Amino acid sequence: MYPNLLPPVLGAVAAALLALLVIAVRQPVVRRLALRQVARRRTEAALVITGSALGTAIIVGALVVGDTLNFSVRQQAYQTLGPVDERIVTTDAGAGRAVADRLQPLAADPEVDGVLTAQVAQAAAANHGGAQPLAEPRVLAWQMDLSAAGRFGTAGGGSGLHGPTPQPGQVVLNEPLARSLRVGSGQLITLYLYGQPVDYRVERVVPQQGLAGAGLGGRVNRDVFLPPGALDAARGATGAQPLSVTMVSNRGGVETGEKLTDSVTAKIRTALGPDASRAAVDAPKHTVLQEAKRTGDVLGALFLMIGSFSIIAGALLLVNIFVMLAEERKPQLGMLRAVGLKRSRLVGSFTLEGAAYALAATIPGVLIGVGVGWGVALIAAQIFRGWSVDGGGLSIVFAVTPTSLLNGAALGLAIALAAIAVTSARISRFNVIAAIREQPAEPGRRPRRRLLAISSALAVLCAVAAVPAVARSQAEQTYLLPALAVAFAVPAARRVLPRRVVASVAAGLVLVWSLTASVVRPRVFDTPSMAVYVILGSLAAFSAVILVSENQQALMRPLRRAMARPTQQGLALRLAAAYPLSKRFRTGSTLVMYTLIALVLVLLTEISGLVNASVGQATRDATAGYTLRLDYNPQAVGGDPLAALRTGPLAAQTAGVTPLLNARGQSTDPGHRTTRPLDTAVVGVPDGAVTSIAFRDRLPGLPDDRAVWQALATHPQYVVVDNFFGSTGGPAGKYFTPGDSLTLTDPSTGRSEQKVIAGVLKSGLAFYPANGNSATIYPLIAGERGVARQFGADAQTASALVRTLPGVSPEALAGRLQGEHLSASLVASPIASDVHRLFAADTAFFKLMQGFLALGLLIGITGLGVVMVRAVRERRRTIGVLRALGCQARTVERSFLWESGFVALEGVLLGSVLGVLTTWLMYQKSSAFTGLEGGFPIEWGPILTLTGATLLASLLAALGPARHAARIRPALAVRLSD
């Protein structure tokens, strides 16, 4: 992922490493100091490397997930298109022949590898040869010259369909259809062509590749290739006509040929001449590859956003480690400075040491990241299969590119080096005499005038820039600029107020703004950018931790009575509280690590709870009393499925049947997210037939839902859509509202009409087609007469909504309908079951992200373990004095365990409160939560489990250092510093 990012990141890392190499070569004293420290503390070095490796692994894992998703979507181009770059579809046989004749000379064009014409019809298939009959209602029956198909696009690679054209009585199946029917070569199947059953013997089974997986937009196409004349013979009695499809292959391979799409498409339209109005010309491969890039980028960015909090935790771990190293080595550093070591060389020594840790962590981090990406892909493969109404969900194939590995390694190394360099420069500032004497640092002085002037100017600039940003609801700037204005105003405020007051007020202001900005400006989340969530979480966590750290004494008041007891337990409690209170920076850094991860984990948990709580309401919104959606082939003979439901044996189980008029159209995006036309399933609703399906928003002047449906019947320019119309991924938001317009086009005739959105449905699931012929198609609902007027004969009644009587099982009725009307290729979809399946996939996806984020919690626990190891070493003399004065070993061990438990518990509780509060405030006002109407539940079980598991893991991480501290011998500890 992100090939454009690789050169600057690699350049920056290479420059940094080159500078460090120069320092190591030209300054041997600095090099020896750095390498000696690495060799002396092997256990601590291993912990630092572990934390840095986890940070790199998070980055690599997110990028590998993006690679996998991008590759998986791109596979559709190989599986269902192959050499096909452009597709010209006609619904009239005469028009199909004319189009084929006009386009045949295009085969000699230097930008074209071939032109192939075929006919296709919707069919069904059954296997009656086994112990239990198997049927597949979603079949595409192709009639084409397989010898010509084998030569199609050969200059750019194989077509995917080879071998002789089947003889009469024989057919060729692709793998998806063969799997559905569980048949192989030589077995008999029954095909229902236009409703007429015909028996065929399977001549061979071919892989789903290129033309062998061809369809009209579906990700999984179940294809059968017929002998010559089979479709003509089947349709002879019905008068129906198959679709005529002319396919064009551009010069080049599967992906390289796509670059010629615009040029070849223009030549196709020119060649069609007056017949252009009778054919629909589209570029499916361009659409698939664009969707692949968008899907990979969006979901990869989502995982990278989730991982960003773990990356921040990893950077804080490095900062904390080096601050503690500086504290431990303060006398040594003071002596080095006293004998003439320059501050720049001191910075170089720390930076070299940190670079050694970061370099050692790079390869393990990359390997762990690949493993994480593989695990995510494995789980995502199960989830994405459920994200489809027609059952043709995205098939996940693990993939990784060298670009992502290099990007991940370079970004992890760059973040680590930057954190180390900044921290090294900061800790190198100390008073030499105070450091040698191990005296505490001087209290913070007032800021210098130059710093005061610069910070005040920046505060004013950020405040001024924040006004238009907030007014326009610009996502990142809305959160960041006011917070920066407050931060830059701190030096000026410290001139007149105490430091603690200033820090508390500033942190409080930033915290309040980060929590309430989405309430004041709800549209800040109407953006596909993921950076806003990273900024929001970081601001909330850092400001809350600063506020708590500055007022820790007040928070500890309830424990004062227990701490004051003259017992070993009271002493342990006092010792456990004393160190975190005196070392605010390192305690705060550890708290931020826990708070950040806990905040996002709880936020994801709460959103998942909101989703689950809204299942009932979402089901009611999607069904509105309807229980089944039927999709069938209107050209099939052998009985009308709807008539059988109204008057046949099944009429006793149904309360009503609403037929829907269907047509394929193309629409502009009312949300203006893309300029390319959107494939649209146009649905015509009979006048007065549908009145109970509810709307999220309505056009002003339409008082209720019934009025919207009546407006569709009386005003042909009105249409309704759902909130996902034209969705490009990312957070949900209000990209369009009633009153916005779009252009609807009939691709067969080119006739376009301007439409106005009269309402946005709460759920449009009942209108999504389930015939397996489209992967990304959005329903657009209009009045029946308006659809018939614009699309003419291309608009056919091919679906219906069914209400069943109380006590009737929709699943059982669906199975019976599909069995009895297999010849009509009928697919019956229980709407409520589809809702529950989609919600279950959403919940599983949230759990997947929580598992991915849990790696960040490991970084926090690792950080706490490192802090405790360093604390034992730093307090060695203190422990020795306490033991010499009679403090029990058990008390020392208990104090360390309570100290780690106190930090972990406070961090997790703070993150949990912020997570619940953030989600609740967003739920109240943010459009990102539109449609979730099940109330706001607090997920006590998962939150308490998270708290308990984190506390237990933190205590286990501190157990080793605590026992080591308890075993320190007083005499040796007092005499030796190491």
- The model's pLDDT over 769-780, given as tens digits with 9 standing for 90+, comes to 875 544 468 899
| Secondary structure element (H or E) that encloses residue 142, with its range | strand 134-143
Amino acid at 602: V
Let me know: does 831 contact 622? Beta carbons within 8 Å: yes
Q: What distance, in Å, lies between the first and last C-alpha atoms of the chain? A: 47
Let me know: does 517 contact 474? Beta carbons within 8 Å: no
SS3 36: helix
680-713 per-position pLDDT tens digit: 999 999 988 888 888 988 999 899 999 999 999 9
- The predicted structure's pLDDT at residue 276: 83
Report the distance separating Cα 491 and Cα 488, nearest Å. 7
316/176 same-domain check? no
| Secondary structure element (H or E) that encloses residue 680, with its range | strand 678-685
- Nearest alpha carbon to residue 861 among 419, 317, 420, 326: 317
Least confident of 15-19, 309-313, 414-418, 472-476: 309-313
762/868 same-domain check? no
Give the mean pLDDT of 140-165. 84
Q: What are the Cα distances from residue 273, in Å, to 106, 263, 276, 302, 942? A: 13, 16, 6, 46, 64
- The predicted structure's pLDDT at residue 791: 92
175/240 same-domain check? yes
Instruction: Please give the DSSP secondary-structure letter assigned to residue 700.
Output: T
Let me know: does 702 contact 711? Beta carbons within 8 Å: yes
Q: For residue 472, which phi and psi values (nearest 5 degrees)? A: -90, 0
Least confident of 435-444, 743-752, 799-808: 435-444
Q: Given 3-state DSSP classes, what are the helix, strand and coil percentages for the chain, each rounded to the nearest 5?
A: 60, 15, 25
Angle between helices 876-884 and 889-925 (to 10 degrees): 130
Let me know: does 51 contact 317? Beta carbons within 8 Å: yes
Residue 198 forms beta bridges with which residues? 191
Q: Is residue 115 part of a domain?
A: yes
Domain limit, last residue, from 825, 850, 866: 825
Report the distance separating Cα 879 and Cα 519, nearest Å. 51
The four Cα atoms 856, 860, 861, 865 give a dihedral, to 10 degrees, of 140
Report the distance separating Cα 105 and Cα 101, nearest Å. 8
| Secondary structure element (H or E) that encloses residue 639, with its range | none
- The predicted structure's pLDDT at residue 800: 93
- The predicted structure's pLDDT at residue 728: 62
- The predicted structure's pLDDT at residue 639: 65
Give the mean pLDDT of 23-42. 82
Residue 734 has pLDDT above 80, yes or no: no
Domain limit, last residue, from 801, 825, 849: 825
Residue 963 has pLDDT above 80, yes or no: yes
Q: Is residue 295 part of a domain?
A: yes
429/500 same-domain check? no
Tokens of 511: 């915290």
Give the mean pLDDT of 899-903. 86
Q: How many domains does the chain have?
A: 5
SS3 34: helix
* pLDDT tier, 670 (very low <50, low <70, confident <90, very high otherwise): very high
Report the distance separating Cα 817 and Cα 830, nearest Å. 12
* pLDDT higher at 563 or 152: 152
Q: Is residue 443 part of a domain?
A: no
Report the distance separating Cα 211 and Cα 152, nearest Å. 9
What's the mean pLDDT when you consider all of the chain? 84
Give the mean pLDDT of 440-450. 62
- Nearest alpha carbon to residue 718 among 733, 698, 748: 698
* pLDDT higher at 839 or 535: 535
633-662 per-position pLDDT tens digit: 887 766 678 887 888 788 888 888 999 999
Report the distance separating Cα 405 and Cα 896, nearest Å. 40
- Sort 875 into a burial class: Cβ within 10 Å, 0-12 / 13-18 / 19+: buried
* pLDDT higher at 556 or 670: 670
- The predicted structure's pLDDT at residue 604: 85
Let me know: does 238 contact 194? Beta carbons within 8 Å: yes
* pLDDT higher at 440 or 350: 350
208-235 per-position pLDDT tens digit: 888 998 888 777 889 999 999 888 888 7
- The predicted structure's pLDDT at residue 438: 65
501/545 same-domain check? yes
- The predicted structure's pLDDT at residue 487: 93
Other Cβ atoms closer than 10 A to 445: 7
Between CA 688 and CA 691, with CA 689 as vertex, the angle to 5 degrees is: 75
* pLDDT tier, 821 (very low <50, low <70, confident <90, very high otherwise): confident
* pLDDT tier, 369 (very low <50, low <70, confident <90, very high otherwise): confident
Other Cβ atoms closer than 10 A to 274: 8
Let me know: does 210 contact 260? Beta carbons within 8 Å: no
Q: Is residue 951 part of a domain?
A: yes
382-394 per-position pLDDT tens digit: 776 655 545 555 6
- Sort 725 into a burial class: Cβ within 10 Å, 0-12 / 13-18 / 19+: buried
Let me know: does 117 contact 328? Beta carbons within 8 Å: no
Other Cβ atoms closer than 10 A to 874: 16
Which residues contact residue 929 at a Cβ distance below 8 angstroms, ignoring those fewer than 6 apart? Answer: 610, 922, 923
Report the distance separating Cα 363 and Cα 377, nearest Å. 21
DSSP calls for 357-378: HHHHHHHHHHHHHHHHHHHHHH
The β-bridge relationship of strands 170-174 and 196-206 is parallel
Query: 328-342 b/e with 16+ CB inside 10 Å = b?
Result: bbbeebbebbeeebe
DSSP calls for 728-785: -SSS---S--TT-EEEEE-TTT--EEEEEEEEEES--GGGS--SSS-SS-EEEEEEHH
- The predicted structure's pLDDT at residue 926: 67
Q: Is residue 628 part of a domain?
A: no
* pLDDT higher at 46 or 192: 192
Q: Is residue 626 part of a domain?
A: no
- The predicted structure's pLDDT at residue 927: 64
Residue 251 has pLDDT above 70, yes or no: yes
Residue 885 has pLDDT above 70, yes or no: yes
Tell me which residue has tokens 């502009």: 668
Tokens of 588: 């705060």
- The predicted structure's pLDDT at residue 738: 93
Let me know: does 284 contact 88? Beta carbons within 8 Å: no
Between CA 857 and CA 865, with CA 861 as vertex, the angle to 5 degrees is: 165
Residue 864 has pLDDT above 50, yes or no: yes
- Sort 443 into a burial class: Cβ within 10 Å, 0-12 / 13-18 / 19+: exposed
Tokens of 966: 């308890």
- The predicted structure's pLDDT at residue 80: 83
777/703 same-domain check? yes
Report the distance separating Cα 723 and Cα 706, nearest Å. 19
Let me know: does 747 contact 795? Beta carbons within 8 Å: no
Amino acid at 119: Q
Which runs of consecutive H residues, i.e. helices, occur in 104-244?
146-151, 175-181, 230-235
How many CA atoms lie less than 13 Å away from 953 in the CB half-sphere? 18
* pLDDT tier, 441 (very low <50, low <70, confident <90, very high otherwise): low
886/963 same-domain check? yes
- The predicted structure's pLDDT at residue 978: 46
425/462 same-domain check? no
Report the distance separating Cα 814 and Cα 828, nearest Å. 5
DSSP calls for 562-589: HHTSSSHHHHHHHHHHHHHHH-HHHHHH
* pLDDT higher at 972 or 535: 535
Between CA 873 and CA 350, with CA 335 as vertex, the angle to 5 degrees is: 65
858/909 same-domain check? yes
Between CA 552 and CA 558, with CA 557 as vertex, the angle to 5 degrees is: 125
The whole-angstrom distance between residue 314's C-alpha and the CA centroid of its chain comes to 22
Let me know: does 469 contact 523? Beta carbons within 8 Å: no
Report the distance separating Cα 904 and Cα 907, nearest Å. 5
Let me know: does 911 contact 597? Beta carbons within 8 Å: yes
Give the mean pLDDT of 359-365. 89
SS3 430: coil
* pLDDT higher at 504 or 585: 504
Q: Which domain holds residue 653?
A: 633-825
673/772 same-domain check? yes
- The predicted structure's pLDDT at residue 386: 56
- The predicted structure's pLDDT at residue 922: 77
SS3 437: coil
Q: What are the Cα distances from residue 933, in Å, to 727, 734, 921? A: 21, 16, 15
- The predicted structure's pLDDT at residue 688: 82
- Nearest alpha carbon to residue 962 among 570, 576, 574, 556: 576
Q: Is residue 800 part of a domain?
A: yes
272/183 same-domain check? yes
Of 324-338, 492-506, 514-528, 912-926, the range with the highest mean pLDDT is 492-506
Instruction: Please give the DSSP secondary-structure letter assigned to residue 543.
Output: H
Domain limit, last residue, from 282, 298, 328: 282
Tokens of 824: 């009509």
Residue 14 has pLDDT above 80, yes or no: yes
* pLDDT tier, 899 (very low <50, low <70, confident <90, very high otherwise): confident
93/233 same-domain check? yes
Give the mean pLDDT of 834-839. 82
Q: Is residue 556 part of a domain?
A: no
Tokens of 315: 């950077």
